[in-house]
Amino acid sequence: MRDFEGQVALVTGGSRGIGRACCLAFARRGAKVAVNYAGNEAAAAETAKLVVEAGGEARLCRFDVADAEAAAKAVDETVTAWGRLDVLVNNAGVAMDGLLLRLKEDDLDRQLAVNVKGAFFLAKAAARPGSIVNLSSVVGEMGNAGQAAYAATKAALLGFTKSLARELASRNIRVNAVAPGFIDTDMTGGIAEAQRQKMLEVIPAGRLGTADEVASVVAFLASKDAAYVTGETIRVNGGMYM
């Protein structure tokens, strides 16, 4: 299926994990993909290579999503290079865990800057007919001890999604969110086995999700199959939160 043939998608945090899977999901369906990354050029280059192998076109976009000027410039450069921008996936995010009483203000500020302000900056710069998909998280809905700041940023994206969907619907721009649960990526790869088992106990499906499973939902929301879907959050969490 090449239903994104001729379309352009910009995916933030596209060098690995869910971001890379999203890049490949769009590439397999014919899209040109702008791969954003913050610093790991080798990983981003690998994503670009995989995008081409999957049948798409790729260009690398190195910038910090928390930098409003850089975000706007990246969007402009993408449109200049390919003539359009149809899909924005706000996937870039950071998690700096710690109990509230030990949380440093700088850590809070960085998570707010990347996870929330980054989505604001990109959406503002990229607001044009098409689709915006924001990556939230299961902890943004149910909370998690030691992740008060991270959960707050992911909850903020849900309110942002609903509000922006109302603002942009008249301009034929749909805005939706995906809330992944515990996904098997680099972020969860370093978890101790005992902790992993505790995680599995609260997931009815009995396993971690895959990045591809999240990416397929992102691609659906961006596609014409979801043409009458906006302001929604789809949970991809194996039943962890219903």
Q: By mean pLDDT, which of 38-47, 165-174, 190-199 is the weakest?
A: 190-199
> Does 241 map to a domain?
no
- Percent of the chain predicted with pLDDT > 70: 99
- Would you place residue 193 in the very low, low, confident or very high pLDDT band (cuts 50, 70, 90)? confident
pLDDT at 190 over 80: no
> Does 75 map to a domain?
yes
Q: Which residues, at least 6 apart from 82, have a Cβ–Cβ distance to it below 8 Å?
A: 8, 32, 34, 57, 59
Tens-digit pLDDT profile for residues 99-154 = 999 999 999 999 999 999 999 999 999 998 899 999 999 999 999 999 999 999 99
> Does 152 map to a domain?
yes
> Does 199 map to a domain?
yes
Residue 192: what pLDDT?
A: 78
| Full domain range(s) for residue 25 | 8-236
> Does 2 map to a domain?
no
H or E element in which residue 9 lies: strand 8-11
Q: Tell me which residues are annotated as active site.
A: 150
Please tell me the total count of domains within the chain: 1
Residue 195: what pLDDT?
A: 82
Tens-digit pLDDT profile for residues 18-46 = 999 999 999 999 999 999 999 999 999 99
C-alpha–C-alpha distance, residues 126 and 133, integer Å? 12
pLDDT at 65 over 80: yes
CATH of residue 74's domain is 3.40.50.720
pLDDT at 236 over 80: yes
> Does 50 map to a domain?
yes
> Does 242 map to a domain?
no
Collapse the DSSP code of 31 into the 3-class scheme (helix H, G, I; strand E, B; otherwise coil) and give the result: coil
- Would you place residue 188 in the very low, low, confident or very high pLDDT band (cuts 50, 70, 90)? confident
> Does 53 map to a domain?
yes
Backbone dihedral angles phi then psi of residue 106, each to the nearest 5 degrees: -65, -40
